[in-house]
Structure 1
């Protein structure tokens, strides 16, 4: 048992320490910056016909679309932060899910900006219409996430002293987080290898943009649903309070709605994402009202 605890502490220090977080943040920022300039150079070389690499790709037609690449690496860091905060705060963990899906929409906006057709037929052009949906959705999600964080902080401020049962629950969440860090790293690497194998340099065919935009994150949110279910089941050992069970169950529903948004496109996808975050906000609002009544 002592050896297992020692291994657990070593792995926790490797994957979930503040030092590791800062190192990963620094590396990701450097990689994001370098990738941005590489993307810009490729676009420039393609524009002057120095190279001919996927001439029909939406990501190589305009310098604005180069912002898409560094945002992809920032999203990877957000995935790590989600796992990092899982043992520390359940509400921050859920907030990170909402932030990730919002950043995916923002990332797509940069691609859409480079493809806009500024004409009087704005609402008849599919690309321009999707840009309108996404820019509106990003504002709504930003507003909803702000209030979700506000409600989460309010709950944290009223938290009582941590007891032994809560400590055991946190320890189990740390075990899940320690397993998730290398798992998501392997998942990201295998997804990149699989996507690269689908690229045909001979015919200059690249996977569709929808495939690229959903790359990794459709699998990522599928795994998150399973993690949320595991957390819900483990929580039954530590609480039988109705409002806690409904809160945790509601967050699973919210994550499922986000995952479903990857299977559709257009306004349906946007509506699913907004409904998912709005549902999560309503769940935590009602939960906090229960908490308030229990303290009276």
Structure 2
């Protein structure tokens, strides 16, 4: 098994290093700006009737749709960052999922704008405005709770294992992350193909979140091989439950999605406080 773990690490670490490299981050940032400007240009050409009919059918008419598209790309980049975060501590990975939830709520707010007329008007769009306020303030509350969540985190729980077990556990999670990255690329390319062929399909980001839940459960089960004690199993399972609540929030209607997201964040915070403050120092808690 050590040979397999070493090969997985050999594949994962260079990819992770390149993704986190500052030079690549700058290129992505510039590319995102150009993508937003190109989106605005295509929308304007569509409104002027200067695009071929086959291409015009794929381009929205609202300039606000360019904002939604740009935030979709930001969300995709954050999902990739989440995949590379998976080999880190379970609590860090869950925190990254709350970051995604906050971004998804903001994206939903901008998505509502694409339905507004131009120039923008309040009359006749009262419900949309309420949904924008709900998702926007919900994202802000989750952002604040996420700050509290990170603030109360202490050292990684994985550090209590022996160095050999820690290497094996992290390598196993790196292998899962590589498979998850391949699945994400496949789902993304499939979504693009279905969009270009005008086939109705669900948001692949939401579908991928379902895969993330299954992945979290798999990581919990694998962690039990290295940390079989009740404390670690309950703590990791509790964090997995918070991700399930996040997934339900993504599928919930407006207003309920915010309440469920906040509930998930509060649950993760309370779980962290209980595990660190109440169980801290208890004899045999990691057996």
Structure-2 residue corresponding to 1:79: 79
SS of residue in 1 equivalent to 2:245: helix
> For each residue in 1:232-261, what CA deviation from the matched residue of structure 2 results, as whole angstroms up to 9, or x when unmatched?
111111223333222211122211122223
C-alpha change, 1:12 and 1:159, in structure 2 (3 Å) is closer
Show the counterpart of 2:187. 187
TM-score normalised over the length of structure 2: 0.82
**CA drift at 1:34:** 2.3
Instruction: Tell me the secondary structure at the aligned position of residue 208 of structure 2.
Output: helix
Go from structure 1 to structure 2 and tell me whether the alpha carbon gap of 1:98 and 1:6 turns closer, same or farther (over 3 Å shift): closer
Q: Which runs of 5+ in 1 are unaligned?
A: 200-206
Q: Distance in 1 between matches of 2:4 and 2:233?
A: 31
Aligned to 1:129: 130
The answer to whether the aligner puts 1:281 opposite 2:285 as a matched pair is: no
Using the TM superposition, give the Cα deviation of residue 127 of structure 1 relative to its aligned residue in structure 2, in angstroms: 0.8
In structure 2, which of residues 111, 122, 135 is the aligned counterpart of residue 118 of structure 1? 122
Alignment coverage as a number of residue pairs: 275
Q: CA 1:54–1:282 in structure 2 vs 1: closer, same or farther (change >3 Å)?
A: farther
Check the 8 A contact 1:28/1:74 in 2, yes or no. Answer: no
CA distance in 1, matches of 2:79, 2:167: 24
Task: Give deviations 1:88-125, integer Å, cap 9, x for gaps.
Answer: 22222111111111111112222334526425x87xx2
CA deviations 1:19-62 (Å, max 9, x no partner) are 2432653453343222201111022223444447359x8x5323
Distance in 1, matches of 2:143 and 2:92, equals 15
Q: Distance in 2 between matches of 1:79 and 1:175?
A: 17
What SS does the corresponding residue of 1:177 show, helix, strand or coil? helix
- Secondary structure of the equivalent of 2:152? helix
Which deviates further from its counterpart, 25-34 or 132-141? 25-34
- CA RMSD after TM alignment: 3.0
**Corresponding residue for residue 255 of structure 2:** 267
Residue 173 of structure 2 is matched in structure 1 by: 173
- The superposition leaves residues 106-162 of structure 1 with CA deviations (integer Å, 9 ceiling, x where unpaired) of 12222334526425x87xx2211111211110111111111111122x234995585
| Equivalent residue runs for 1:68-107 within 5 Å | 68-107=68-107
Structure 2 counterparts to residues 29-108 of structure 1, below 5 A? 29-51=29-51, 53-54=56-57, 60-62=61-63, 64-108=64-108
Contact kept, 8 Å, 1:42 with 1:60, in 2: the verdict is no
Q: Comparing both chains, which one has the higher relative contact order based on Cα–Cα distances under 8 Å and sequence gaps of 6 or more?
A: 2
Distance 1:148 1:294, change over 3 A: same
